[in-house]
Amino acid sequence: MSAKTTARRFFGTDGIRGTVGEYPITADFVLKLGWAAGRVLRRNGAAKVVIGKDTRISGYMFEAALEAGFSAAGVDVMLLGPMPTPGIAYMTQTFRAQAGVVISASHNPYQDNGIKFFSADGRKIPDDIELEIEAELERPLTTVVSNELGKAVRINDAAARYIEFCKSSMPERTGLQGLKVVLDCANGATYHIAPSVFRELGADVTVIGASPDGLNINRNVGSTSIRALKAKVIETGADIGVAFDGDGDRVIMVDEHGREVDGDELLYLIGNDRHKRGVLHGGIVGTVMSNLGLENALKRKGIPFERAQVGDRYVIERMQANGWELGGESSGHIVCGHVQTTGDGIVAALQVLSIMMREGRTLDSLLQNFEKAPQSLINVRLDSRADRKALMEAEAVQQAVTAVEAELGEEGGRVLLRPSGTEPLIRVMVEAQPAFDAHALATRIADAIEAARAA
């Protein structure tokens, strides 16, 4: 069976992800996945991979399974331990590995986990390689002869190496002296890295969400749940709050007043600053979910803007196609291509803080001319077995969408309905001018989906 004729069964927009213990997120499948990936890598000669993980309890099991699978295929393994996803991309390049493997379910709860791969250049592996791996999964697992088995070694200074890389990403050797920062590490992969980065750059740091126990990753903390961060910023009188997600590739901020600052606003700040300094080199890539306010603000500055599908891999594809260096998502995936190959929460945060330090201004004042269009996003959670495509195409749902679009008209706003690539959700987004109630319109469509599901 060739890769060209194999349909994609396991890989989604961000690797393979699901509930631990439910196929394919099982120890036996992940062992074979490591073997299959190892077989593909070995076709071009000797190979080695780096493996990192976030802090969820199942990471130990899957780390061992991958190690065994790669070894059986004759691939050497370098174990990084807990490491942010962008750190694994960086270490893949540092160690000249043929691939980097991430064990993480990002912002999902601890019951979920997943596997995704970076290629040797620190970018997501191409679709054709994913298809080759899927084709190899159809074959019976075999083991190379003993003298060809892969060896495993643990890299004890992985965190220190990545800390130094993050510090080096600060523009113009800017420090953070005098800046009072609250960090929320989501009880995830940044817990032992982000505090050191910010402290060593001179910031006065308070930390929350940095006591992982295997079960509390993303629980009421992190970029998807910033209530605790808002409270701590106000309580401590901090200048800024910074929240990462479980695997450290997202960042959301809180200004000195406790107001949330999302990925669109951060993207604008970084892009506008680089544009003013003449180092932007082109335009900026957002997604179909990016707020209209971002597009309008960039247009006023004369900065080109393009929308990609949701997912950092699609953002990066458009960046590469255009020869641009900056892109991101509302959720906080910010790709600073002049520094990193993928979304990096710590690196993106440092770009923003360096702007504050250079200009001597607060985050709030830097955004005073940025106006977001009112936007409502409702996630309709489904049974994992639900057919999201069929629900979205249901006649009653399409009628609800058409009615809302007619009410908004051509100038009043827009509607976006899409399935999540990582969770059993349908996302309903309505963006509308202030004269309309965006939340009420989004609720109308979400109710239609709920009714269609119950029918």
The catalytic site residues sit at: 106
Residue 262 near residue 294, CB atoms below 8 Å: no
User: Cβ contacts of residue 336 below 8 Å, gap of 6+?
Assistant: 169, 270, 325, 326, 344, 347, 348, 351
Question: Exposure string (b/e) for 175-194, b if CB count within 10 Å is 16 or more?
Answer: ebeebbbbbbbbbbbbbbbb
Of 355, 356, 331, which Cα lies nearest the Cα of 251? 331
For the CA atoms of the chain, what is the radius of gyration? 22
Per-residue tokens: 343: 């979304």
Taking each helix axis from N to C terminus, what angle separates 263-276 and 292-300, rounded to the nearest 10 degrees? 10
User: Percent helix, strand and coil across the chain, each rounded to 5?
Assistant: 40, 20, 40
Residue 257 near residue 339, CB atoms below 8 Å: no
Instruction: Determine the Cα angle at 26 with ends 20 and 31, to 5°.
Output: 140
The residues that bridge with 184 in the sheet, in sequence order, are 208, 243
Angstrom distance (rounded) from CA 346 to CA 84: 9
The residues that bridge with 15 in the sheet, in sequence order, are 12
Per-residue tokens: 66: 């991958």
Of 203, 219, 200, 201, which Cα lies nearest the Cα of 211? 219
Sign of CA dihedral 10, 16, 18, 24: positive
Query: Tell me, what amino acid is at 422?
Result: T
Residue 270 near residue 326, CB atoms below 8 Å: yes
**With helix as H, strand as E and coil as C, how does 130-158 read?**
HHHHHHHHCCCCCCCCHHHCCCEEECCCH
Instruction: Determine the Cα angle at 260 with ends 254 and 264, to 5°.
Output: 110
